[in-house]
Amino acid sequence: MKKIKITQVKSVIDRPERQKRTMAALGLKKINATVEVDATAQILGMVRKVDHLVKVIEL
């Protein structure tokens, strides 16, 4: 399965609660935090919802 690297580039302050929870579910808590995850349909859907807050790199 493909892996992707997700890096938080913007703060979740003043964002809707739903976006805050999505970021937490991805494992991102601070700016410049990075996680490597499998590129499943569920993860890609979560990334699409917060794409303005993160940077994604395919590995």
Dihedral sign from CA coordinates of 15, 18, 22, 25: positive
* Band of residue 1 on the pLDDT scale cut at 50, 70, 90: confident
Model-level pTM? 0.92
Contact 49, 42 (CB under 8 A): no
| Residues 4-48 pLDDT 10s | 999 999 999 999 999 999 999 999 999 999 999 999 999 999 999
Q: Would you say 53 and 7 are in contact if contact means Cβ atoms under 8 Å apart?
A: no
Q: What CATH number matches the domain at 3-58, 3.30.1360.30, 3.30.1390.20, 3.40.50.10490, 1.10.150.20?
A: 3.30.1390.20
Burial class of residue 41 (count of CB atoms within 10 Å of its CB; 0-12, 13-18, 19+): exposed
